[in-house]
Structure 1
Amino acid sequence: MKVEKRREAMLQAVLSGMNDVAALCEHFGMSEATVRRDLRALADERRIVRTYGGAASVGVHEPEESLDTRRESFREQKEAIARAAARHVQDGDTLFLDGGTTTAALARCLAGRKDIQVITNNLLAVGALASADVRVTLIGGDVRPSSMSTLGPIAQVALSRLTFDKAFLGADGVVAGRGLCEATAEQAFLKECIVAQAASVFVLVTSDKLERASQQHWTPLEREWRLITDSFADDAAIERFRQRGSVNVERAEMDAR
């Protein structure tokens, strides 16, 4: 089989969900070195995203859901993830809550805590926390209406002056070995700034976002971090994150209280 046809066939296999190098080797009857070389070539052409032990589809730039749609989608899963995340918060912690509806659910779980301080760019979280007398520091910047969060140069400068014990991040997608994907470069870079200032990093995403490369802008995660997702997460997807070694994975049970 000619190289071009072989790589086109491999691309179609990846797009259909065959993401592991071992599975691709078996399917095509090729050596691991050849498969990896073809995957690198496809990644260089931006047709796929290389991941730890395999590849994932890049996908088209998906339109962002409206804020109202985000609030309603996967609500039970987000609440379960938020409850699981809240159990990692200890007395005296200074936290950062990223923008998004899952981190806003975490804010509701933390309402009433008098022994923590929350720094956030999430306008959805501020109301729940401030009305419950939680100490809140709001990061300034440009307001992004589709997520009701702040970002931009002002937010970046403010973050450079702060540190926190734990950062809780959301994302449009998360890919093992690649990081978090976002709709804009500003969002991705702001998350990178947050990660740099945090002693511990938690990523809170519903299982539909695992191995999802739906946007073109990335925040790398080149450190230890914890992924908290819901109980519907696919075992194979979870295993790809665990194989990284630097990722602790936690599944939040729907009936957790």
Structure 2
Amino acid sequence: MNAGERREEILQLARTQGEMSVETLSEMLGVTASTIRRDLAKLTDSGELARTYGGVLAVPTEAETTLAERSHEAPEVKRAIGSWCAKQVPAGSHVLLDAGTTTAQVARGLRETSPLSVVSTGLTSLQQMADLQGVEFTLLGGRYRPVSQGFIGPITEAGLEKFTFDFAFLGADAVTAEDGVCEALPEQVRLKELMSRRATHVFVVAHAEKLGQRPFHAWADLGSGWTLVTDDSADPAQITPFEERGIAVVRVDQMGNAVQN
């Protein structure tokens, strides 16, 4: 296997298996770690791989949809999910809201609850709560992503580490029971993992069409102590894998009420 073939094999492994370490690639391909590092340098320089703390990830080949495009996906379902989530938050709580359209609906539902302390990484939540007197709102800065109207990166993470929360509501491009929350970039999943560690109660909000999907190759492992909130069109085949791994699942109807799984 020449260098070109080896790099193509590295790309295929990263696309199918997710994050890959230098040591794992060295063992699988039967070459030295220094050879793998040179290959990875070439692939990251060309934009085909992205570096992570543990190794590398394939850069997504699908285009990430913009927030404006996502706002037209299942708006009534997202509103119902947001309504149910907001009902779980008592007055006086400290709440963390991720960027995204569904978490914006959580913010919308929280307009009726005060006082609250709210921290968010997204402009959409700020837009929902900017005029409220009973909410102490903190927007975390960092590197701004127009596609999501949210902030990521080291500055965002450093700000987040100054807080703890009663409730965290996280969005997702997709969710699987095996790998957790799927996002387009490693920085996004690293931020979500940090969010989950800073909160007592963690909810991932995702409508049924996102369950079991794998649009990208960056994954946040949240462990088992979180709750998936989805809509009542999710069928048992989608829900059972989560429950088997100790993840609570709440299905919400169009009125924002939980229904039996």
TM range (shorter): 0.7 to 0.9
Q: Normalising to structure 2: TM-score of the pair? A: 0.74
Contact 2:224 2:245 in 1 (8 A): no
For residues 143-179 of structure 1, give each alpha carbon's deviation from its aligned partner in whole angstroms, at most 9, with x where no partner exists: 1101101111100101111111110000101110211
List gaps (5 residues or longer) in structure 1: 1-42, 50-57
1:102 is matched with: 102
1:103-147 CA distance string (max 9 Å, x none): 001111111422211110111110221212221011111111011
Q: Which residue of 2 aligns with 1:239?
A: 240
Alignment of structure 1 residues 200-219 onto 2, 5 Å: 200-219=201-220
Cα distance in 1 for residues equivalent to 2:158 and 2:176: 28
**1:173 paired residue number:** 174
Residue of structure 2 equivalent to 1:47? 16
Contact 1:227 1:250 in 2 (8 A): yes
Query: What amino acid does structure 2 have at the position aligned with 1:102?
Result: T
Give the equivalent residue in structure 1 for 2:48: none
CA distance in 1, matches of 2:106, 2:16: 36
Distance 2:66 2:98 in 1: 18
What letter matches 1:66 in structure 2?
T
Report the residue type matching 1:233 in the other structure.
Answer: A
Q: TM-score, normalised by structure 1?
A: 0.75
Q: Secondary structure at the match of 1:63?
A: coil
The one-letter code of the counterpart of 1:87 is K
Q: How does 1:145-156 map to 2 (within 5 A)?
A: 145-156=146-157
Counterpart in the other structure of 1:198: 199
Please give the secondary structure, in 2, of the residue aligned with 1:47.
Answer: helix
Where structure 2 has 5 or more consecutive residues not aligned to the other structure, the ranges are 1-11, 19-57
Task: Give every structure 1 segment of 4 or more consecutive aligned residues whose post-TM-superposition deviation is greater than 4 Å.
Answer: 43-46
Q: Which residue of 2 aligns with 1:54?
A: none
CA change 1:157–1:244 in 2 (3 A) is same
Cα offsets for 1:190-212 (capped at 9, x unmatched): 11111111111100001111011
Counterpart of 1:154, as a letter, is: I
Please give the alpha-carbon distance, in whole angstroms, between the structure 2 residues aligned to 1:135 and 1:239.
38
Note if contact 1:121-1:150 (Cα within 8 Å) is conserved in structure 2.
yes
SS of match in other structure, 1:111: helix
State the match for 2:115 in structure 1.
Answer: 115
Superposition pairs for residues 14-93 of structure 1, below 5 Å?
47=16, 61-93=61-93
Instruction: Please name the residue that 1:34 is paired with.
Output: none
SS at match of 2:71: helix
Q: Distance in 2 between matches of 1:223 and 1:108?
A: 28
1:61 touches 1:216 (CA, 8 Å); kept in 2?
Answer: no
Instruction: State the identity as a percent.
Output: 38
